[in-house]
């Protein structure tokens, strides 16, 4: 169908489909900001100082968006250490202040992890690194840090690295916009990768847990690639609209809305976290039973193939299912054929397809798609 051929999907670092429909990036910048609000300092900490920060918990290497593409090999890590020994400058690091003393690293996680693994592996819970595949200093092949000559240990510890640090006083939208312009490993960061890096707390682990859950994997047919964190963004969008009902979505800034949701999750008591997790699992199960292999995907009449997952459909369908009673979900499951017929009618509506295609953070689009799905489900439930 021509409608499906127009759908563009997100791709991972190797250019492979993530099976998630791509949304435009227009929501990152909503209005110009005052350049005077940008507070960036360039620091030159030594390796020893950065490791000291790690030991004190004042340097956050927890974000794992770079690790989804595969941790550097021992050879790659060893050659970075060789660069330090050869006094070859390393690329600039980028970080943001989070709290009075802490830094959250956005670009350079792999480099700092490699250094920490070699010098003090325990600080990051890693196995010790033995130098492998060195190009020039082959006499040190197979050695650990403590086996190097003392002069070389000192050289590593006293090496200065360049860190561009976004100060805490920089307004959050400005901070996120600055980092959105950074290429990490030759690719721009996605909004969810930025949220993962810059907003520490238990929300990180909850998103990872739910994105890896069997309920989510079954409902999405296990096709959503985790490499650019689209799966975690989908989970976050569900949680955000459960914590703040769609009718209360007013600003039209979806990125800010999702950032606020992560902070709300960080403050929730354990019992509310469990309740949200249970709601999510129930909604995923219901979606799979009611919509089958086309759950959360655009579908048009006569279409036999499966379209990629659509994030706007995911949030509007899953949140609507989460608020229904078990007996209502049972009715919808029994009447799945009617649900499908009404859904195909809805997909024929230009208004609904507009609401789930591009610029999905627009207030009118949010209200339209949630309202349309609510009406669809109620129509099925009220049918004789």
Q: What is the pLDDT of residues 53-107, one digit of tens each?
A: 999 999 988 665 555 544 689 999 999 999 999 999 999 999 999 877 889 898 8
Residues 10 and 143 in one domain: no
In a domain, 276, yes or no: yes
Residues 220 and 332 in one domain: yes
Coil/strand/helix, residue 375: helix
In a domain, 183, yes or no: no
Domain that holds residue 25: 2-30+189-381
pLDDT of residue 5 exceeding 80 = no
Residues 249 and 129 in one domain: no
Q: How many domains does the chain have?
A: 2
Q: What is the pTM of this model?
A: 0.80
- Any bridge partners for residue 153, and if so which? none
pLDDT digits (tens, 9 = 90+) for 31-40: 556 667 778 8
Q: Is the separation of the CB atoms in 115 and 47 below 8 Å?
A: yes
In a domain, 338, yes or no: yes
Residues 20 and 71 in one domain: no
- Scored b (16 or more CB within 10 A) or e, 253-269 reads bbbbbbbbbbeebeebe
Domain end, chosen from 169, 201, 223, is at 169
Residues 50 and 18 in one domain: no
In a domain, 176, yes or no: no
Sign of CA dihedral 312, 315, 319, 321: positive
In a domain, 138, yes or no: yes
> In Å, what is the CA distance from 69 to each residue of 116, 187, 227, 293?
20, 12, 6, 27
345: pLDDT confidence band, cut at 50, 70 and 90?
A: very high
> In Å, what is the CA distance from 103 to each residue of 54, 82, 327?
10, 26, 49
pLDDT digits (tens, 9 = 90+) for 263-301: 999 999 999 999 999 999 999 999 999 999 999 999 988
Domain end, chosen from 169, 203, 219, is at 169
Domain end, chosen from 169, 201, 232, is at 169
Residues 138 and 226 in one domain: no
Residues 16 and 59 in one domain: no
Residues 98 and 196 in one domain: no
Residues 211 and 351 in one domain: yes
Residues 56 and 115 in one domain: yes
Listed in sequence order, the residues at least 6 apart from 153 whose beta carbon sits closer than 8 Å to its beta carbon are: 145, 146
In a domain, 181, yes or no: no
């Amino acid at each position: 169908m021509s409608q499906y051929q127009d759908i563009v999907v997100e791709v991972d670092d190797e250019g492979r489909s993530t099976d998630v429909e791509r949304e435009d990036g227009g929501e990152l910048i909503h209005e110009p900001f005052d350049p005077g609000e940008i507070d960036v300092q360039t620091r030159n900490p030594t390796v020893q100082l950065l490791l000291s920060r790690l030991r004190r918990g004042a340097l956050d290497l927890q974000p794992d968006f770079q690790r989804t593409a595969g941790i550097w090999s021992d050879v790659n890590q060893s050659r970075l250490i060789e660069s330090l020994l050869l006094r070859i400058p390393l690329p600039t690091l980028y970080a943001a202040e989070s709290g009075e003393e802490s830094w959250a690293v956005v670009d350079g996680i792999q480099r700092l992890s490699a250094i920490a693994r070699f010098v003090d592996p325990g600080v990051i819970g890693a196995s010790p690194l033995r130098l492998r595949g060195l190009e020039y200093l082959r006499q040190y092949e197979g050695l650990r840090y403590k086996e190097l000559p003392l002069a070389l240990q000192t050289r590593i510890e006293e090496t200065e690295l360049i860190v561009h640090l976004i100060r805490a006083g920089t307004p959050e939208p400005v901070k996120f916009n600055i980092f959105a312009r950074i290429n990490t490993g030759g690719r721009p960061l996605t909004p969810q990768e930025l949220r993962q890096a810059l907003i520490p707390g238990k929300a990180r682990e909850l998103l990872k847990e739910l994105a890896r859950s069997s309920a989510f994997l079954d409902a999405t047919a296990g096709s959503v690639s985790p490499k650019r964190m689209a799966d975690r963004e989908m989970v976050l969008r569900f949680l955000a609209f459960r914590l703040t009902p769609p009718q209360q979505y007013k600003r039209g800034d979806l990125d800010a809305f999702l950032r606020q949701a992560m902070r709300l999750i960080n403050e929730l008591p354990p019992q509310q976290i469990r309740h949200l997790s249970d709601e999510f699992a129930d909604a995923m199960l219901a979606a799979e039973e009611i919509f089958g292999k086309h759950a959360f995907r655009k579908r048009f009449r006569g279409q036999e193939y499966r379209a990629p997952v659509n994030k706007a459909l995911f949030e509007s369908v899953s949140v609507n299912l989460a608020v229904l009673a078990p007996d209502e979900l049972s009715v919808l499951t029994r009447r799945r054929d009617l649900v499908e017929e009404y859904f195909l009618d809805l997909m024929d509506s230009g208004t609904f397809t507009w609401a789930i295609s591009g610029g999905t953070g627009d207030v009118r689009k949010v209200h339209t798609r949630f309202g349309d799905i609510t009406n669809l489900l109620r129509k099925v439930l009220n049918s004789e």
